[in-house]
Amino acid sequence: SISGQQNNKPPSPSRPSRLDTLKAMASAPPTQRRASSSSDAAAPSSSNTATSSFNPQPAAATMLLPFRILSKTPAIITILLRVLLWPLFKLFNAAFPPREFDGINNAAGSDRAARAFVAMVQKQISVVRPVVPASESSNGEGGATNQEHYVEPPCPFSSRGYNLTISDITSRPPNSRPLLLLYLHSPLHADGTKFIRDYLCHPQLLQLLNSNNSDSNGSVACFGASVHTADGQRMRDLLGVTGFPFVALLNVKSGGSSGGDANGNAGVPMELLLRMEGPALTRIPPAQITTYLHTAVTRQAEVLAAEEARRLQREEEARLRQEQDREYQEALLADQMREIERREAEESERREAEEREEAERSRMAKEASRLEDARALLREAGEPPAGSKGVARMRFQLPNGKKVDRRFRSADTIETARAFLVVL
């Protein structure tokens, strides 16, 4: 058959590869190696010509060029769209400013949301009125008087955003820093408005919060937000709130950690003192919630008082140590001054003694020199013999009453007589 003839056909000679040539050269004798190397040296010219006639790489690069251009197309389109839409974005931001739910760094939006929450709470406070006793309500004049003298309590919650509220708390000294009462409101919750009216607007709780909520020395700062706002959603994520209504009492610490927002408030550490959430919260009497909050605030006040007492004690101990150090330094300085004065006195006495000794030595040297001069003068003049001509006898009476006689020549001077007295 045809297939059989093709299979029995002898194979056509193929060109040996470069690797086979190298193996043959390595196994051949040295003489054959030189011969094969010379033949290989002549062969590259033809092989290079054949290789240069067909190179598949430029053709492959030309085929892949459209795919490379297509892969860069999305980036180019994105850049062009950004450049073309930038004026439109600016115009859109000017026409539609950010709202309270458009970002946690939007201070104006946060303040608007806080004011809206305060207005909602204040509206519920206006709904709640104190119950007038029956004895007073029967008297129309007395009831009218009570209604006339009734003063609606203010809303204790802050009308500023979360960032500004935290900044106000952390700006105070640690010993007078208030607690943060946080309430998260869910507009979709069935008991949300009822909880505000019956619990947050309860007269006892309002009196407790307003009495402890002051701009300068209050012990509680109240902040409320809806979970549909940026601040409310942030606090919901931070505290892991899963049930509503939600009330928490937090102790804001000083300092912060990394990862905060532009105002540096996201990383402020807080200590959770009290947490109440879920439907079970609506089954607790409002007075009991007031008791819980009052107990937590009182305990925190006791903790702050103890810390303040320890701080004052540390300051008093530091002051006493400073006074003791100052007194010790003063006593040490006085001792050093006395030691310096004693050394100066000793040095002065030593100098005076040396001066006296020097004066005494000088005087004795002068006396010795004077005595030696007097003796030399007497030896030079000599005492003349008795009976000599021109001789005078002189008698000297000393201070002790002793009388001494001596002969002098008429040519001797008074210095000779003084020399005689010096020698005596």
Secondary structure of the chain: what % helix, strand, coil (to 5)?
65, 10, 25
Residue 290 token pair = 């007031």
Q: Are 161 and 116 in contact, with CB atoms under 8 Å apart? A: no
- pLDDT score of 105: 66
CA distances to 163, 231, 271 from 260, rounded to whole Å, are 11, 14, 17
pTM over 0.75: no
In the block, tokens 């804001």 appear at 252
H/E segment holding residue 393: strand 391-397
- pLDDT score of 23: 52
The whole-chain average pLDDT of the chain stands at 79
DSSP label at residue 246: E
In the block, tokens 């598949």 appear at 56
Instruction: Report whether pLDDT(390) > 70.
Output: yes
Instruction: Report whether pLDDT(30) > 60.
Output: no
DSSP reduced 3-state for 277: strand
User: Which phi and psi angles does 331 have, rounded to 5°?
Assistant: -65, -40
The CB-side HSE value for 222 (13 A sphere, CA atoms) comes to: 24
Residue 232 token pair = 């409310």
CA distances to 127, 137, 143, 149 from 140, rounded to whole Å, are 22, 6, 5, 14
- pLDDT score of 210: 87
The number of beta carbons lying within 10 Å of the beta carbon of residue 121 is 23
- pLDDT score of 423: 84
Distance of alpha carbon 392 from alpha carbon 225, whole angstroms: 141
The band of 99, judged by pLDDT with boundaries at 50, 70 and 90, is: low
Instruction: Report whether pLDDT(127) > 60.
Output: yes
The number of beta carbons lying within 10 Å of the beta carbon of residue 161 is 28
Burial 263-283 (b: 16+ CB within 10 A, else e): bebbebeeeebbebbeeebee
From 24-38, 116-130, 235-249, 286-300, the region with the lowest mean pLDDT: 24-38
From 75-79, 251-255, 340-344, the region with the lowest mean pLDDT: 251-255
Distance of alpha carbon 43 from alpha carbon 167, whole angstroms: 87
Greater model confidence, 235 or 42: 235
Q: What pLDDT, in 10s, does the model give residues 334-388?
A: 999 999 999 999 999 999 999 999 999 999 999 889 889 888 888 888 888 887 8
From 46-55, 104-113, 204-213, 239-248, the region with the lowest mean pLDDT: 46-55
Greater model confidence, 27 or 241: 241
393: which strand partners? 407
Greater model confidence, 368 or 47: 368
Mean pLDDT of 19-47: 47
Q: What percent of the chain has pLDDT over 70?
A: 74
